[in-house]
Amino acid sequence: MNEALLKAIENNSKRTVTDLSAMLGIPELDIAEQLTQMEKDLIICGYHTLIDWDKVDTEKVTALIEVRVTPQRGEGFDKIAERIYLFKEVKSLYLMAGGFDFTVVIEGTTMKEVAHFIGHKLAPLKAVQSTATHFVLKKYKDYGIVLDKKPKDERMAVTP
Amino acid sequence: MNRELNKIALTIPPSGIRKFFDVVTTMKDAISLGVGEPDFDTPWHIREEGIYSIEKGKTFYTSNAGLLELREAICDYLDRRFELKYDFNEECIVTVGGSEGIDLALRAITNPGDEILIPEPSFVCYKPCAALAGGIPVPIPLKAENEFRLTREEVEEHLTDKTKAIIISFPTNPTGAFMTKEDLQPIADLAIEKDLIVISDEIYAELTYEGVHVSIASLEGMKERTIIVSGFSKAYAMTGWRIGYATGPENIIGVMKLIHQYAIMCSPTTSQYAALEAAKNGDEDIAEMKAAYNNRRRFMVDSFNRIGLTCFEPKGAFYIFPSIKSTNLTSEEFATQLLLQEQVAVVPGTAFGESGEGFVRCSYAYSIDDLKMAVERIEKFVLSLENKKD
């Protein structure tokens, strides 16, 4: 595992092997090999694009659902988690410490669709005790990137 | 009219950088590699502390030497990072950026006619400040074959019975040169032998990429003759806050405080509170920025060597200093033609002293994407020069 390489692509997976090689001082072949290995080892799990859907006409609704569950004997939380994350509507799923057990992030096209998913798929699951749903009104920052602001270089063009 | 003005000030030439600045600002699509400051924003927790101090009404003068808790934090920081021990009461002063520290140090130690040794290429303020303090600046040309490090022999060649002090600055703006403890020892020995004061500008101390910065003040017998000048500008991306400091022997810092007290009163209070947060809780910010600079540094050295502008590997600061001798142009011609033809601004090496001839300074305090675009344009420019030769 190469932490410097991971950091170099963490916020820009479009970097070419040639650039990464120059940036990290590692031969191109080694970079390519390490990337492939880390993909195989599921250290790198995917390459996504951060899109601000608010700027696109497509309707999107995001909801954060707090879920309380009763863990099943011999299965713990993981089995319940699997039953939840297999739904394609579930974008993210986290096991939590604190007042509830899971945070489920759902994405749908309308509130009705999200409500339907919760009412008909999530809440009726045998292990689920209760749910509390919160809808996202606006995303300001996601994955460390401020969505609505293009950074501007405020520096003078030439300084000593 | 001129006879009424300060004679020394009138002899100071205007900055070699200024005219490039004037041209670049008229160009719409210019990419500038000419900036001598970080591209990062000041980390939010530091800015927030400055804002909070204003909200709390901390808008009055502080003590002349700077907030006591800031001086204490600075001395803790120097001990933690560089094993330097200073008494925050007597051996530390908070200044308006590192620049004021340089000016104060020179004014505190210089008598008319004292010679001040200044290795070049180096930051632009040393010579004028030495002259304005009544001293005679004596440049020591550094050599590319030594990767612009200073040697004992070079200092010896320029010593006279009037030599009072030497200003060193490693890592260096504009070359990125770096001196190890072993490199510094012979300079320290000579300083002790010849009873020289050393002004050590350590503003880039946190930005070293191979090996840790060693201050000359930490070598045996050097603390009592060294004034360290540093600040928050480069390490914490705080250039506009204008906040720096100096540490050194009590008697010298005492005189510096005296001049500062009448010239400046105290450093800006808001900036002092922000700096306090930086010195206490900013180590992680430094590490993050440094890692980013390091990637860019390797990218730039690799790119410039590839396009035929040879460049030694700078081990500190955020500049590369490639040789442009293969183009048969002077530094100024190269920079001017590159700007007009490809709209890329670099700074001629001569802006940092005559020994900078044949080199240009390129800052890598830019995103990799900007650097890539700049390198592509520079490559195009170099190819066009080669085609002309053919």
- What residues in A contact B20, CB-CB < 8 Å? 158
Residue in the block written with tokens 């530390």 = B92
The pLDDT tens digits of the residues spanning B189-237 come to 999 999 999 999 999 999 999 999 999 999 999 999 999 999 999 999 9
Rounded distance between C-alpha atoms, residue B156 and residue A22, angstroms: 40
Put residue A53 in one of left, alpha, beta given phi > 0 → left and psi -120 to 50 → alpha.
alpha
Averaged pLDDT for residues A107-114: 93
CATH number attached to the domain at A53-138: 3.30.70.920
pLDDT score at B56? 98
The amino acid occupying position B8 is I
pLDDT higher than threshold 60 for residue B245: yes
Does residue B1 register a pLDDT over 70? no
Verdict on whether the full-model pTM lies above 0.80: yes
| Cβ of residue A19 closer than 8 Å to a chain B Cβ | yes
The predicted structure's pLDDT at residue B390? 72
Q: Do B35 and A158 touch (CB under 8 A)?
A: yes
> Taking residues B357-375, what's their average pLDDT?
97
CA distances from B279 to A20, B71, B80, B212, B331 (A): 33, 10, 11, 18, 39
Question: Is the Cβ of B259 closer than 8 Å to some Cβ of chain A?
Answer: no
Q: Is A149 on the interface with B (CB under 8 A)?
A: no
Nearest residue of chain A to residue B291 (CA atoms): A4
Residue among B28, B104, B56 nearest B270 (CA): B56
Burial (Cβ within 10 Å: 0-12, 13-18, ≥19) of residue B278: buried
Whether the CB-CB separation of B128 and B148 falls below 8 Å is answered with no
Cα–Cα dist A64/B278, whole Å: 36
Work out the average pLDDT over A6-30.
95
Q: Which residue among B20, B25, B295 places its CB closest to the CB of A23?
A: B295
Domains and their CATH numbers in chain B? 2-42+284-384 (3.90.1150.10), 45-281 (3.40.640.10)
* Residue from the list B15, B35, B124 with its beta carbon closest to the beta carbon of A157: B35
Torsion sign across C-alpha atoms B65, B68, B74, B76: positive
pLDDT at B233: 98
Mean pLDDT throughout B11-33? 85
* A15 inside 8 A of chain B by CB: yes
* Strand, helix or coil for residue A4: helix
Q: Across the interface, do B32 and A160 touch by the CB < 8 Å criterion?
A: no
- Report the distance separating Cα B378 and Cα B382, nearest Å: 6
Span A28-57, mean pLDDT? Answer: 95
Task: List pLDDT tens digits, range B327-358.
Answer: 999 999 999 999 999 999 999 999 999 999 99
How many inter-chain contacts (A to B, CB under 8 Å) are there? 59
Looking at the predicted structure, is the pLDDT value of residue B99 above 60? yes
Residues B15, A160: C-beta atoms closer than 8 Å:
yes
The more confident residue out of B222 and B18 is: B222
Of B295, B302, B345, the CB nearest to A157: B345
A159 contacts B295? CB cut-off 8 A: no
**What's the rounded mean pLDDT across residues B52-63?**
98
**Is the Cβ–Cβ distance between B259 and B235 less than 8 Å?**
no
Residue B344 near residue B23 (C-beta atoms within 8 A): no
Those of residues 22-61 in A touching chain B at CB distance below 8 A are 22-25
Res. B3 pLDDT band, cuts 50 70 90 = low
Higher pLDDT, B222 or A157: B222
Average pLDDT over residues B64-93: 98
pLDDT (tens digit per residue) in B114-133: 999 999 999 999 999 999 99
Burial B6-20 (b: 16+ CB within 10 A, else e): eeeeeeeeebbbeeb
**Minimum-distance CB partner of B37 among A8, A19, A155:** A155
> What is the distance in angstroms between the Cα of A124 and the nearest Cα belonging to chain B?
44
pLDDT of residue B2: 55
Q: Report how far residue B191's alpha carbon sits from residue B197's, in angstroms, rounded to the nearest whole number.
A: 7
How many Å apart are CA A63 and CA A115, to the nearest integer?
9
**Does the beta-carbon distance from B298 to A25 stay under 8 Å?**
yes
Q: Residue A27 contacts by C-beta under 8 Å, 6 or more apart in sequence?
A: A21
Minimal Cα–Cα distance from B346 to chain A, Å? 8
Residue A15: its chain B contacts at CB < 8 A?
Answer: 368
Q: How far is B34 from chain A (nearest CA, A)?
A: 5
Q: Is the pLDDT reported for residue B368 higher than 80? A: yes
Q: Return d(Cα B337, Cα B351) in angstroms, integer.
A: 16
> Nearest to residue B160, comparing CAs of B185, B135, B138, B132?
B138
Q: Does B40 touch chain A (CB under 8 A)?
A: no
Mean pLDDT of A27-52: 96
Percent of residues, chain A, with pLDDT higher than 90:
81
What per-residue confidence (pLDDT) applies to B22? 82
For A154, nearest residue in chain B (alpha carbons): B39
